[in-house]
Chain A
Amino acid sequence: MTIRIFSLLLLVVSILVVPKCFSSNTPNNNVELSLTPLACFVKTIGDVCHLTIKVNWQSLTPINACLYQDFKKIHCWSDTKKAAKKIKVSLSENMVFSLQDGNDKIYTQQHVAIAASTSKKYRRRLRADWSLF
């Protein structure tokens, strides 16, 4: 009997909580985000790219929103339906820019890619000296 009540409780909790969990990370289609450019060219992979990114977003209803570069908050708007801003950013790898509310809910996101103008890549040496050394 106790197990049956527990299972029922678990089911109710699942129905109520799980969709909420998913929704917090699922981009909201009511908000549109546009970034330009969507790629940054560097000489070689690993170089830092400094660029001014044009941010445009709009929402059907006024919202409080912050733009994040990966996990770093870079600009916020409050009670706004539409915004446009130029922001200077630096990145050395492919990056996700997301528009979020104050509670980690992601409205929408965009990827900005890093591309190298030369194809040369580098990796860490693993230091296999001659066995005698």
Chain B
Amino acid sequence: MEKSSKNLHLKYLPLLFIFFSQLTFAQCIATNEQCAPVDEWEFSLTVGAGMLTNPLHGGNNIPLLLIPTISYYGENIFFENNALGYSFYETNAFTLSAISLINRENSFFSLWHPNNVFVPSIANGSALSPSGDDESSHLDTPAPEIDVDDVANRKWALDAGLQGNWFISEQSHLVMRILHDVNDTYNGFNGKIEFSHHFTGFGMPNTQWKITTGINWLSQQQVDFYYGIGENDTKNKSHYYQGKSAVNPYIKIHSNYKLNDDWRLTFTARSEILGAAISDSPLVKDKVIKTIFLGVVYDY
């Protein structure tokens, strides 16, 4: 029964590809900002002010001051920021790629995670205090909670898997991704489905807006590895916590105001609601991860 069901899915896979391949629209051209030149490296550097909140007890909010972006698109291979991929099926409307990227969860446990390359040297200075980490709130809270500094170090994970990009129209884009860690860290999956829509509007010339919404899904293994509490972390059994799979919905708004050919003003605000399986962990104090950033970008 299971086998026939699997065969049924495989049977419809080529049809799915044909469906996507028929949804063609304008090809990539130089003036389309959703397109990248093939065989060229692109760099940009963003300077500004912003913050990514850390949902963990005792976790430092991550300041966003300097954000480098780097990308390279070959005929099939691509490298963009912390992701490396190979597109093995590509039409104007749909791309299927093998992709590998650094898992973000350890960012909240370790400030010097590879994801946090944009944290400048002042980031570990005394100016940064753990957000919401005042002693009185600890004393007033009867629920078991544990500080990130009081648990064992989590390892960073490298994930790999498949990503499908469906370019629904020139403005709309759907990303579907399923990954598994490849460095024997949490031994589980994670995935996401993300829809984004570009538009110009609000009566502001030279301004592009992008609204993104999606869900991050984390398998039980991943939630348990990062947010579970066991005897490796503490001897206090009241803190023990077994993670379950979680779904985190998120929404993001991003805008770019073009100042000239090299400079643009950028703004990002993002909010991600943690699934109950994560927010119930004694490690977690905030149910929402918020990001806000305003800066200027220089495109090299």
Contact = CB atoms under 8 A, between A and B. Distances in A.
Contacts of A47: 29
Given A93-B27, A125-B35, A132 B78 contact: no
A130 B115 contact: yes
A132 B95 contact: no
Interface string A17-61: 000000000000000000000000000111100000000000000
B53 to A, nearest CB: 11
B82 A128 contact: yes
A72 interface: no
B297 interface: no
A9 to B, nearest CB: 29
A46 B291 CA distance: 37
Interface residues of A, number: 20
Contacts of B92: 124
B38 interface: yes
B288 to A, nearest CB: 15
A81 B268 CA distance: 66
Interface residues of B, number: 50
A61 B196 CA distance: 58
B29 A46 contact: yes
Contact of A125 (B26, B36, B75, B252): B36
A92 B28 CA distance: 11
Interface in A117-131: 120-131
A133 B252 contact: yes
13 contacts: A46-B30, A93-B27, A122-B30, A124-B28, A124-B34, A124-B36, A125-B36, A125-B71, A127-B80, A127-B196, A128-B78, A131-B104, A132-B107
Interface of A: 44-47, 92-93, 120-133
